[in-house]
Amino acid sequence: MAQLVVRNLEEGVKRRLKQRADKHGRSLEGEVREILTAVAQGGPVHDGAPRGIGSQLIEMFRPVAGALEIPPRSKEAPKPAKIRR
């Protein structure tokens, strides 16, 4: 097995990786290994949270559709629909 050293990693990045590792019951090294393996194999990297149907469809069709981006969700509450009478 190969070894990889990552220098000058921001503390915040390391902290978030450690939190993610704890959430998945892995060591920091194990979590980074899982992330790198998924990316190298062309698979999705997500934190285990349920994904919406849009995200699943984009991942399913990415090989034929190219790199589609999911726009960020708005933080604002949705506006109620206007009913025409």
Q: In terms of residue numbers, what domain contains 24?
A: 11-62
Is residue 22 domain-resident? yes
Report how many domains make up the chain: 1
Is residue 43 domain-resident? yes
Is residue 81 domain-resident? no
DSSP the chain: -------S--HHHHHHHHHHHHHHT--HHHHHHHHHHHHHTT-----S----HHHHHHHHHHHHH----PPPPPSSPPPPPPPP-
CA distance 28 to 15: 10
Is residue 72 domain-resident? no
Is residue 53 domain-resident? yes
Is residue 67 domain-resident? no
- pLDDT tens digits for 28-37? 999 999 888 8
- Residue 34's pLDDT is what? 87
CA distance 52 to 45: 14
| Residue 21 near residue 30, CB atoms below 8 Å | yes
Is residue 57 domain-resident? yes
- pLDDT tens digits for 38-48? 888 877 676 66
21: which 2 tokens?
């590792």
Those residues of the chain that have pLDDT short of 70 are: 44, 46-51, 65-68
Mean pLDDT, the chain, as a whole number? Answer: 81
